[in-house]
């Protein structure tokens, strides 16, 4: 990313990967706790820091590396979660950053169209859907729309957008992609051009983009929020092309996994938990070296089939760097960060997760944070 580096370098230096000398150990912070914390991104309830005790506790005790914000609370079915107005959101974001020793990824799903947490009814500018932009297929129009989004996010203190979607629109009846107009096109060349325009606009304003959902969710007939989703028969290798081209062009952001099962890539595990998919395909064949985020670990495609400890172990072994717990599915768990951190630490101490695997994720996360920039003005 271009521009002036944000002040993450001192925080990174303070969290040295080298263990302290014995004489210094008593005065040093718990580096394993800090590294594990950076791997956690959680959702929470509250429109101010004062009425959000769960995230205050997670920042203070678990040292979480990120939060994800929503405008609607699914478990309680109420349109009151984290966002009420631009001014309120700016204050909340600022207070969150001030509370954290290491600057946070503050993430949101602002794709445009029907998937937009920042809505005009609450004072935010409208944003077109990916499908409408793909049908127009004009890079300048897409860039202008993305710049509006990026500046809106920047002004609100949001640092990461969980977008753009680069799933191909191979099944227009797909309940979670096609029917919601979240895909630009079934043509990978159009998807790549549209995503490139978005990524460049985000980059120019210091917003971290996140390509999703790897290795492709566009052909699915089911919604992984609701349960097991098998794309073994419908997925095609062409769905990798947007990723391949963007990586070759020096893509600066992160990638989010899909919870889809594809026996052609892994006969046992869905993508989020699949070493073959993330290490072999994403990092090996496609050469991606950046941060990998999981899709929401509380979605039923994972939660209904795996216990929390097993899901954490498999995801980390597979190569996930940031474990996302949106806390916005069927239930809300105020202690999810504490539970996840405790389980990961225990697995590291028992040897079922190598300590150097935690270090790998920590390095990638801090590298992305240090490369995040202030917008050029």
* pLDDT tens-digit series, residues 57-75: 999 999 999 999 999 999 9
Who contacts 273 (Cβ-Cβ below 8 Å, separation ≥6)?
A: 302, 306, 311, 314, 315, 318
**Once rounded to an integer, what is the mean pLDDT over residues 324-336?**
94
What confidence tens digit (pLDDT) does each residue in 117-169 have?
999 999 999 999 999 999 999 999 999 999 999 999 999 999 999 999 999 99
The reported pLDDT for the residue numbered 293 is 98
The reported pLDDT for the residue numbered 197 is 98
360 band by pLDDT with thresholds 50, 70 and 90: very high
Active site amino acids: 225, 295
The reported pLDDT for the residue numbered 29 is 52
Q: Is 331 a residue whose pLDDT tops 60? A: yes
Tally the residues of the chain: 377
Q: Is 355 a residue whose pLDDT tops 70? A: yes
Task: Please report the DSSP string for 133-183 in residue order.
Answer: HHHHT-HHHHHHHHHHHHHHHHHHT--EE---B----S-TT-TTTGGGT--
Cα–Cα nearest to 180, from 101, 272, 111, 121 = 111
Query: What 3-state class would DSSP assign to 296?
Result: coil
**Average model confidence (pLDDT) across the chain:** 90
- Give, as one character, the DSSP assignment of residue 230: B
Q: How many CB atoms lie within 10 A of CB 232?
A: 12
Q: Is 13 a residue whose pLDDT tops 60? A: no
The reported pLDDT for the residue numbered 67 is 98
Domains of the chain, CATH where assigned: 9-371 (3.20.20.300)
What confidence tens digit (pLDDT) does each residue in 72-126 have?
999 999 999 999 999 999 999 999 999 999 999 999 999 999 999 999 999 999 9
The reported pLDDT for the residue numbered 225 is 55
């Amino acid at each position: 990313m271009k521009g002036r580096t944000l002040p993450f370098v001192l925080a990174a230096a303070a969290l040295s990967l080298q263990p302290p000398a014995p004489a210094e150990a008593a005065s040093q912070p718990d580096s394993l706790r800090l590294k594990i914390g950076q791997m956690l991104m959680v959702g929470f309830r509250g429109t101010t820091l004062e009425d959000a005790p769960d995230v205050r506790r997670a920042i203070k005790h678990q040292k979480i590396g990120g939060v994800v914000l929503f405008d609607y609370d699914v478990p309680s079915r109420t349109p009151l979660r984290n966002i009420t107005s631009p001014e309120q959101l700016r204050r909340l974001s600022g207070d969150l950053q001030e509370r954290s020793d290491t600057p946070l990824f503050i993430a949101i799903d602002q794709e445009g169209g029907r998937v937009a947490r920042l809505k005009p009814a609450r004072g935010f500018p409208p944003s077109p859907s990916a499908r409408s932009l793909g049908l127009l297929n004009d890079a300048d129009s897409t860039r202008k729309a993305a710049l509006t989004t990026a500046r809106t996010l920047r002004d609100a203190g949001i640092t990461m957008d969980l977008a753009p979607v680069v799933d191909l629109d191979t099944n227009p009846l797909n309940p979670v992609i096609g029917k919601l107009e979240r895909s630009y096109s079934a043509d990978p060349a159009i998807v790549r051009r549209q995503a490139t325009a978005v990524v460049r606009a985000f980059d120019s304003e210091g917003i971290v983009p996140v390509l999703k959902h790897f290795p492709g969710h566009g052909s699915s007939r089911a919604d992984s929020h609701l349960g097991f989703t098998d794309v073994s028969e419908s997925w095609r290798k062409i769905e990798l092309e947007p990723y391949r081209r963007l990586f070759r062009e020096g893509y600066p952001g992160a990638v989010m996994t899909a919870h889809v099962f594809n026996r052609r890539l892994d006969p046992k595990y869905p993508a989020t938990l699949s070493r073959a998919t993330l290490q072999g395909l994403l990092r090996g064949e496609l050469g991606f070296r950046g941060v990998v985020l999981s899709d929401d670990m509380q979605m039923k495609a994972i939660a209904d089939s795996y216990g929390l400890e097993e899901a954490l172990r498999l995801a980390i072994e597979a190569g996930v760097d940031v474990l996302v717990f949106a806390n916005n599915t069927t239930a809300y768990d105020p202690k999810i960060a504490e539970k996840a951190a405790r389980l990961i630490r225990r697995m590291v101490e028992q040897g079922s997760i190598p300590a150097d695997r935690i270090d790998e994720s920590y390095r990638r996360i801090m590298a992305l944070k240090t490369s995040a920039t202030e917008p050029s003005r």
